[in-house]
Amino acid sequence: MLTVLRRGAVAAGVLAVLIAFATMGPADEAGTVGAKPAQRHTTSPGVRPTSTAVASATGTNGSDGEIRFTATPEPNPAALERFYAQRVAWKRCTDDRQFDCARVTVPLDHADPAGETIALALRRLPSTSDRPRGTLFVNPGGPGGSGTDFVREPDLFGDDLLAAWDLVGFDPRGIGDSTPVECLTDEELDAMYAADPTPQSAQGRQLLEEAAAERAEGCLRRGGALAARMGTEAVVADLDILREAVGDERLNYYGVSYGTLIGAIYADHFTSRVGLMVLDSAVSPDALDSSTVTQRDVDANARHWGAEFDALFADFVEECGKRCVLGDTPEEAEAAIIGLLDALESVPLPTDFESLPQVTEGWAVTAIGEGLLDPTSWPYLVDALEAAIDDGDGTELAWFAMVAVGRDVDGSYPGSTYGKSHLPVTCADWPVRTWAELTPSSAIFEEHPLFARIQAPLPSECAGWKGQLRTNLLVGAEPATPILVIGNKHDPVTPIEDTEYLAEMLVGSRLVTVDATGHGAYAMGNACVNEVVEDYLARSLAPRDGTECPAT
């Protein structure tokens, strides 16, 4: 139903936007959010330069030529020799025999290789050819998405790619079928989604802050050493062990959304081991703090995001069509939804679900926020809103919200959902920043009233986090291989500015943008970008930097 679910990112939408809202810098005069990008294709500070491996001759089909690997990778870490000595023992999966399954052991703490270990789950779709090029690891994002589920959707990948590679999805540490982390309970997640997202009183805001702090403390208490070591730097160290376990000299990888951060940090930590890598719809890799944030900066940022939200909502109403049940204009539809949310703040709507008998304002905001980010779900969202507004029935809205967050009808949340797994990853990767300490002025929210209810900034989830933190908060690399970075110009979840910025930080990368809406550029119906990705992965052809794909 939802694109983010189809791609495995599972309910990352609204929360991803909120994280971005809290961690980005101010909008510049042109409306671009974030730090100023570095000059393209020059060595970034602190990045290790390596020898080039790209043919300089211009190739056909808009490529810069065939990628050739010439540099010798650095040796594996000697201290982890026993883990790197493993070889994957594939067996047919018991639930679907067209796939192979396996588990690989990694250290819980890479700095203590003699200590406790955990297991990572892998699922392989063997190549359709007799002589595959090797393994292509894939990650669907999140954090919390299951790679072993993602690889079960082979229709997402073109025939040439399926012939060229064994596709391998892995569940990162603590997620899915890997050694699980005990972080948030089902009851805590229900309470988090149900809570009033827009408290009007100081007491209400304090309750939100206290609940967030209790969730973080409870996650570490229940999850112990694993919850404290779920950050992406640990994930990429695991991934390098997986690379060696399948017998590949270099990592070949496709990652979308949060999966781009995995790829970027891998390139930063294991630069000489980068093979062919596609990073699709990027999150900004940097997490530097700024002690000079002003109220003006925060207001400029909020105004930018408010305008972006209003434009998306206008598209939603236009798609709804003339004589839309919510109203003929964005203003009328906005007033109808605001009226619903304001009423739900005091009187929830009944539903037919025993495990979720009422839809609160929080649940409605979750449904609307997630639904707006995925145009393919808009007809279902309109139906759900119509039933809630006209009939006083919250059943369809509750169903929509449950699908969005990966909640089962019985009230349980699988281990491979954003809600279940994101907290220890987010808190390790994105330390609490000065941006989170300031709230946009009330005038901004008055200018964008629906935005104020759907995407209002919430208290930091990570205040008081005691687990490990990312060591390198400014990510960049100059690998020998040109990394392919792609994204849609009108992505409502991960803005194109973040994709462009990531390309700046990965020296020698190839940036390809698509004049399209939606989250995720590859395998979403655009023939141009599909050809670029498959030429790159199946034929080692690097596209020209700055390639732009039309909408169709």
Distance CA 202, CA 315 (A): 35
Per-residue pLDDT of the chain (552 residues; tens, 9 = 90+): 223 323 333 334 433 443 444 444 444 333 333 332 333 332 232 332 233 333 332 334 566 778 998 889 999 999 999 999 999 999 999 999 999 999 999 999 999 999 999 999 999 999 999 999 999 999 999 999 999 999 998 788 999 999 999 999 999 999 999 999 999 999 999 999 999 988 888 888 888 889 989 999 999 999 999 999 999 999 999 999 999 999 999 999 999 999 999 999 999 999 999 999 999 999 988 887 766 788 888 889 889 889 999 999 999 999 998 788 899 999 999 999 999 999 999 999 999 999 999 999 999 999 999 999 988 899 999 999 999 999 999 999 999 999 999 999 999 998 888 888 899 999 999 877 766 677 888 899 999 999 999 987 777 888 888 999 999 989 999 999 999 999 999 998 899 999 999 999 999 999 999 999 889 999 999 999 999 999 999 999 999 999 999 997
Residue 542 gets which letter from DSSP? E
CA distances from 82 to 114, 141, 461 (A): 10, 29, 37
Same domain, 520 and 395: no
Residues 242, 207 share a domain: no
Whole-number Å distance between alpha carbons of 208 and 196? 8
| Domain end (from 420, 454, 488) | 454
In a domain, 199, yes or no: yes
Domain boundary pick from 421, 454, 487: 454
Do residue 259 and residue 342 come from a single domain?
Answer: no
Does 21 map to a domain? no
Does residue 216 share a domain with residue 344?
yes
Q: Are strands 510-517 and 484-490 parallel, antiparallel or unpaired?
A: parallel
Q: Are residues 347 and 401 in the same domain?
A: yes
Same domain, 382 and 306: yes
Residue 349 CA to residue 526 CA, distance in Å, equals 40
Task: Indicate if 449 and 525 belong to the same structural domain.
Answer: no
The reply to whether 335 and 377 lie within a common domain is: yes
206 and 250 co-located in one domain? no
* Any domain includes 511: yes
What residues does 117 pair with on adjacent strands?
107
The CATH number of residue 46's host domain is 3.40.50.1820
What is the count of structural domains for the chain?
2
> By CB neighbour count within 10 A (0-12 exposed, 13-18 middle, 19+ buried), where does 552 fall?
exposed
Q: Is the distance from CB of 359 to CB of 397 less than 8 angstroms?
A: yes
- Taken in order 287, 491, 439, 361, the sign of the CA dihedral is negative
CA distance 229 to 469: 8
Helix or strand run (H / E) with residue 511? strand 510-517
The C-alpha angle 470, 508, 157, rounded to 5 degrees, equals: 80
- Has residue 489 been placed in a domain? yes
Residue 485 corresponds to which tokens in the numbers above?
């970075």
For 304, the domain range is 184-225+290-430+432-454
| DSSP assignments along 400-430, one per residue | HHHHHHT--TTS---TTSHHHHHHHHHHHHS
Judge if 349 and 404 occupy the same domain.
yes
188 & 313 share domain:
yes
CA angle, 442 as apex, 436 and 443 as ends, to 5°? 125
* Cα-based distances in Å from 76 to 65, 299, 515: 30, 47, 41
Assess whether 345 and 296 both reside in one domain.
yes
